[in-house]
Structure 1
Amino acid sequence: MKTLIAATLFAFCQVPFAVADDSPFVSEEVLKPELALEMAEAAMTTCRDQGYQVGVTVVDRSGIPQVFLRDRFAGLHVYETSRRKAWTAVSFRTSTSELAVATEPGKPSAGIRQLSEALPLGGGLVVYQGNGSIVGGIGVSGAPGPDLDDVCAQAGIDAIADRIAF
C-alpha cells in the first residue's frame, strides 16, 4: 500500500516538471514605456474631464514605477498614494477596491493593512495581457473618492486594451 501511495505521489509531482521549461531563465512581458505613458495620460485626462486633478502611476509587474503623471493642481499626496495603489494591485494581484473589502478590520486578511507599502484603497488596478498574465499596474489618486479613482484607472487600461489583448 505504501508503494502505491508513493508511486501515485511521485506521478503527480512529476507533472509540473514534465511541462516545465528546462531553461534556467524566466521570460516575462513588460509594457513599453510609451504604452505605460499612454495609459497614464488616458487615466489623467478622464479624471480631468470629470473635474478631478489627480496623479497617476503605472508600475511594471514587479511594482517598479514606469510612469508618473501629476495634473497641475493635484494634491501633494498623489505621488505616494498612486504609486502605492499600483504597487499594491500587482503585489496582491487584485484591485485595491477588492483588497479594501478583504482587509477590513476583523477579517482574516486585515493584517495586510499593517504592511508599510500596501494601500488597500480603491484606485489601483492590475493590468493583464490577453492571455491573463500580469504586465503591470495602474494607480490613480486625487478624485473625490476611491471609486472615481477606479473609473479613471480603468479608462487608462481601456485606452491600450486592444494592443495588449493578444
Structure 2
Amino acid sequence: MTRCLGALLAAGLAMAGLPGTGAAQDTAGEDGAFVTFRVLKPEMALKAAQAALEHCRAEGYQVGVTVVDRFGLPQVFLRDRFAGAHVQDTSFRKAWTAVSFRTGTSALHEETAPGTESFGIRFLETALPLGGGLPVMGGDGSMVGGIGVSGAPGPSLDDVCAQAGLDAIEFDIAF
C-alpha cells in the first residue's frame, strides 16, 4: 500500500510540474502555477547604492540613495553625513516610481506634465515623477530593481548619480 501511495505521489508531482520533476517550462518561463523572477542580491544593491553615493560625494553633493527590489520594497538605503532629512523618503519614492512604471523618473516627469493624459499619476501617494529614479534591468531585459537618488542640486544631477550606481553593477547583472 505504501509503495502504491509513493508511486501516486511521484506521478502527481510530475504532472504538477514541480521543479526537479523533469516537467518542461513554457516559453514565458513559467512552470505550472508558478512564475520565475529575479531580484538583486543585497550585495549588488549595496554596491549600486555605494557607487551612486560616492559619485555624488565626488561632485560635492550630499545625497541619500535607495535601492528597491522589483516589487518596490527597499533593499538598501544610504545617507551621506550632511544630506537633508528628506532624502530617505524622496530617494525611496523615486526608486519605487521607477520600478512601478518601468521607466526613469525624468521621462515620467515629462509624460505626466500638467495638461497631459497621464497627469493624474502625480496624485498617487508614493509616485514621485522627479528625476533621480532609474529601473535596474537584468541583461535579459527583466526588471530586477530600482535605484533612487535625492539631494543633489537638481533632479538631472540625481539622475547622473543614479546612473553611476547602475554602471557599477552593469557587468555583474549583464548575464
The bucket for the TM-score relative to the shorter chain is 0.7 to 0.9
1:35 counterpart = 2:32: no
Higher helix share: 1
Find 2:63's aligned residue among 54, 61, 85.
Answer: 54
Determine the structure 2 residue equivalent to 1:116.
125
Correspondence for 2:161: 152
What is the DSSP-based 3-state SS (H/G/I as helix, E as strand, rest coil) of the residue aligned with 2:34? coil
SS of structure 1 residue aligned to 2:145: strand
Query: 2:135 aligned with 1:126, yes or no?
Result: yes
Runs of 4 or more above 3 Å deviation: 18-22
- 1:20-72, Cα deviation, whole Å (9 max, x unpaired): 54511111111110110010000000000000000000000000000000000
**What displacement does 1:19 show?**
4.3
Q: Distance in 1 between matches of 2:173 and 2:138?
A: 5
Residue 115 of structure 2 is aligned to residue 98 of structure 1: no
Segments of structure 2 that go 5 or more residues without pairing to the other structure are 1-25
CA RMSD between the two structures: 1.0
**Structure 1: which 5+ residue stretches go unaligned?**
1-17
CA distance in 1, matches of 2:100, 2:70: 8
TM-score, normalised by the number of residues in structure 1: 0.88
Give TM-score, length-normalised by structure 2.
0.83
Question: Equivalents in 2 of 1:19, 1:120: separation in Å?
Answer: 34
1:113 and 1:68, CA in 2 relative to 1: closer, same or farther beyond 3 A?
same
* Identity fraction in percent: 70
